[in-house]
């Protein structure tokens, strides 16, 4: 398994409120662990929220006793959400803070993904980018209800309104997805600083190119910045190498 993880402050923001974790090696009982978090809140709060979430979730996973990947992630997210919410209650400077989350772990050909908010996981298969996660956003809820067209002017104007985040309430429910991976699949985890700048066809073109994994990651971030870089950008690219797993 190979992975490349990078963040960039972008061209407009002064502080990077995205925070990532990437380990192709075991973390606790998990065979590997990848996390993207995009903080929100005031000058200090967003940065604090994303870092707090990632660091505390990694620590939880390291100490977890269970064997089931989904249970470990579910309980970890629930526990860290409660802690982050309490931090906001104790410190007025952190009031209203929150963070998105997309977390993933791969065992053999099985991919388990958890998400809260609008940071995303894509499966790139046969040159096509398929979004695995579902955005917890106002515009996506309106699309599901048939009240808004995806990509419309109203959609673009309101797409940053998040309906679910870690740390904003005493309890949070993450969505979970299980995918069976195939040979030559590639996985992309990212914050909306990437997807607000690049459409799926641009992502497909870059990730399906002959560049190295590092060069693809740099190209994704570089293209987002070339198109305006209006937000922080977080990218984790993963090549699971399923054929190698199956041979073993």
Residue range 147-178, pLDDT digits in tens? 888 778 887 777 778 899 999 999 999 999 99
| Mean pLDDT score across all residues of the chain | 93
Q: What is the pLDDT of residues 11-53, one digit of tens each?
A: 999 999 999 999 999 999 999 999 999 999 866 799 999 999 9
Residue ranges per structural domain of the chain: 2-127+164-247
Asked if 169 contacts 82 with a C-beta cutoff of 8 angstroms, the reply is: no
Q: What is the pLDDT of residues 208-226, one digit of tens each?
A: 999 999 999 999 999 999 9
Q: Over 50: is that where the pLDDT of 186 sits?
A: yes
Q: Over 80: is that where the pLDDT of 243 sits?
A: no
* Superfamily (CATH) of domain 2-127+164-247: PPM-type phosphatase domain (3.60.40.10)
**pLDDT of the residue at 244:** 52
């Amino acid at each position: 398994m190979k992975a490349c993880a990078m963040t960039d402050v972008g061209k407009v923001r002064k502080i990077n409120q995205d925070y990532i974790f990437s380990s192709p090696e075991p973390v606790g009982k998990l065979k590997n662990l990848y996390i993207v978090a995009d903080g929100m809140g005031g000058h200090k709060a967003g940065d604090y929220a994303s870092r707090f979430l990632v660091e505390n979730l990694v620590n939880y996973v390291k100490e977890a006793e269970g064997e089931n990947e989904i249970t470990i992630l579910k309980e970890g997210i629930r526990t860290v959400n409660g802690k982050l919410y309490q931090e906001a209650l104790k410190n007025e400077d952190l009031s209203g803070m929150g963070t998105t989350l997309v977390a993933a772990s791969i065992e053999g050909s099985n991919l388990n993904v958890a998400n809260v908010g609008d940071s995303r996981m894509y499966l790139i298969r046969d040159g096509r980018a398929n979004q695995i996660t579902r955005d917890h956003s106002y515009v996506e809820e309106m699309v599901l209800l048939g009240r808004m067209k995806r990509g419309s002017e109203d959609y673009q104007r309101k797409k940053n309104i998040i309906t679910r985040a870690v740390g904003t309430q005493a309890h949070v429910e993450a969505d979970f997805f299980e995918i069976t991976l195939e040979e030559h699949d590639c996985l992309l985890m990212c914050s909306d600083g990437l997807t607000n700048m690049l459409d799926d066809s641009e992502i497909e073109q870059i990730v399906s190119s002959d560049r190295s994994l590092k060069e693809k990651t740099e190209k994704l971030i570089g293209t987002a910045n070339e198109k305006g870089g209006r937000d922080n950008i977080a990218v984790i690219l993963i090549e699971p190498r399923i054929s190698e797993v199956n041979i073993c």
